[in-house]
Amino acid sequence: HWTMLGVSLLNCLLSTACSVGLALAFALTVHSRGTHLVRGCNSSALPLDARAAIATNDCPFNTTRIYDTALALWFPSLLLAAAEAVLSGRCCLVALVFQGIGPCARSYGKEQV
């Protein structure tokens, strides 16, 4: 039970950190309209809006759909990381109940007897 408690707590913390990081990246990308996504391209031909970016030889990747693709991948990842954090938190609570710690542990113990 202690291993389950430790692993679920660690996973809950890591998933929460991942969710916060993805939410921050998502918000900053939307706020800057994707200009940070094409920052590695040293071309003056690239417009300030990443949605209107064109593919040039000065950029190491295709910039035509970088904004939409990043948001389309980050949003489901954010939802899945948040769900993982919630489920890990519930697993942590179950481990606490099994150890007899917490408010639900006493009623669980009485039901078992």
Is 27 or 62 the better-scoring residue by pLDDT?
27
* The one-letter amino acid at 51: R
Give a yes or no: residue 107 inside a domain. no
Give a yes or no: residue 60 inside a domain. no
Cβ–Cβ under 8 Å, residues 48 and 38: no
* The one-letter amino acid at 31: H
67-95 b/e (C-beta count within 10 Å ≥ 16 → b): beebeeebeeebeebbebbeebbebbbbb
pTM > 0.85: yes or no: no
pLDDT tens for each residue of 32-71:
877 777 666 655 555 555 555 555 555 666 666 777 788 8
Give a yes or no: residue 8 inside a domain. yes
Give a yes or no: residue 59 inside a domain. no
Cβ atoms within 10 A of the Cβ of 49, count? 13
Give a yes or no: residue 18 inside a domain. yes
From residue 25, alpha-carbon distances to 31, 40, 49, 62, 76 in Å are 10, 17, 17, 20, 13
Give a yes or no: residue 108 inside a domain. no
Q: How many domains does the chain have?
A: 1
Helices (H), the chain: 2-31, 66-99, 105-112
pLDDT tens for each residue of 65-94:
777 788 888 899 999 999 999 999 888 888
Range of the domain at 79: 1-35+69-100
